[in-house]
């Protein structure tokens, strides 16, 4: 019977338990029942913030003309964000204005994402909606502020009434532009970041849970289907490498989209 039901085990086996959404809502670990309650996700976020602050302080503490390896790596990473995202998108003048925010967003998201593949942590700080929502709100307020600061009330006119459109089409165009600019942008920023990290975590947990199940439950009970654990382990390694790439990619995508939205706000009538 076990040969026909691959997820069955002999009596005493633990059975297979796939990942569930409950993993993203862990029990409180500190200060339970108080406004300062901390669970695993919050502790990971605090850890990432601490590590980032310490890393940046150490990186700029003793800058040298001939950089050390650590300084060279920091300069490469910072230069990638500065030149590859901020300056290329906003230009030198506007790029300098918004660089602190965009650099912070990039490294914060990267740090929070990478904890999803960090042994011992294995849960991204961005895999729960609170942080992606806060970052999207900051991006939303920033591009509206940039547009209003430069164009005043005309920013909303430029955003909702694009030039070159016949007046009789405005009843159709204005709602679409409103949804696209003021609703879809922040919502997609949140969902893109959140769902990529949630999906990645679930895939990794599924692969490695299945590996444990096949090798230590099924194969240990003499069922040859337990050899499938080799395959699930191989898939787990592939997805692990993919998640490292996704962690960096999502930091890049969120940051460059924020920069693009700011640039569009500054451009005005386009």
- CA angle 53/141/107 to nearest 5° reads 25
pLDDT of residue 61: 83
pLDDT of residue 68: 80
pLDDT of residue 10: 44
Q: Does residue 253 have a pLDDT over 90?
A: yes
Report d(CA 150, CA 137) in Å as an integer. 20
**Residue 74 vs residue 111, higher pLDDT:** 111
Q: 201: burial class by Cβ within 10 Å (0-12, 13-18, 19+)? A: buried
pLDDT of residue 14: 55
- Give me the helix-helix angle, 69-81 and 40-61, nearest 10°: 110
Report d(CA 75, CA 46) in Å as an integer. 25
Q: How confident is the model at residue 18 (pLDDT cuts 50, 70, 90)?
A: confident
pLDDT of residue 5: 37
Report d(CA 247, CA 28) in Å as an integer. 26
- The percent of residues in the chain predicted with pLDDT above 90, rounded, is 67
Q: Does residue 230 have a pLDDT over 50?
A: yes
Q: Does residue 260 have a pLDDT over 90?
A: yes
Report d(CA 20, CA 209) in Å as an integer. 12
Q: Does residue 8 have a pLDDT over 60?
A: no
- Contacts of 202-207 spanning 24+ positions with Cβ under 8 A: 202/19, 203/239, 203/243, 204/116, 204/117, 204/122, 204/236, 204/239, 204/240, 204/243, 205/18, 205/19, 205/23, 206/18, 206/19, 207/232, 207/233, 207/235, 207/236, 207/239
pLDDT of residue 218: 84
The lowest-confidence range among 2-11, 176-185, 209-218 is: 2-11
pLDDT digits (tens, 9 = 90+) for 117-175: 999 999 999 999 999 999 999 999 999 999 999 999 899 988 998 888 888 888 999 99
Give the pLDDT mean for 8-18.
55
């Amino acid at each position: 019977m076990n040969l026909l039901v691959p997820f069955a085990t002999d009596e005493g086996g633990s059975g297979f338990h796939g990942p569930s959404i409950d993993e993203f809502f862990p029990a409180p670990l500190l200060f339970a029942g108080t406004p300062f309650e901390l669970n695993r996700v919050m502790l990971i976020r605090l850890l990432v913030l601490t590590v980032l602050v310490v890393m940046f302080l150490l990186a700029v503490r003793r800058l040298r003309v001939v950089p050390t390896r650590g300084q060279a790596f920091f300069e490469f990473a910072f230069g990638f964000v500065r030149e590859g995202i901020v300056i290329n998108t906003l230009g030198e003048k506007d790029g300098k204005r918004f660089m602190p925010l965009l650099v912070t967003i990039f490294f914060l998201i990267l740090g929070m994402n990478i904890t999803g593949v960090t042994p011992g942590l294995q849960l991204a700080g961005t895999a729960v909606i609170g942080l992606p929502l806060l970052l999207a709100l900051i991006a939303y307020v920033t591009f509206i502020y940039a547009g209003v600061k430069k164009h005043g009330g005309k920013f909303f006119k430029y955003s909702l009434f694009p030039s070159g459109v016949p007046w009789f089409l405005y009843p159709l165009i204005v709602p679409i532009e409103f949804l696209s600019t003021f609703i879809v942008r922040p919502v997609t920023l949140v969902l893109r970041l959140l769902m990529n990290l949630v999906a990645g975590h679930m895939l990794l947990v599924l692969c490695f849970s299945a590996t444990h199940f096949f090798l230590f439950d099924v194969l240990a009970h003499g069922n040859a289907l337990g050899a499938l654990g080799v395959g699930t382990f191989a898939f787990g390694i592939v997805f692990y490498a993919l998640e490292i790439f996704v962690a960096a990619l999502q930091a890049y995508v969120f940051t460059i989209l924020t920069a693009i939205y700011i640039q569009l706000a500054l451009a005005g009538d386009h």
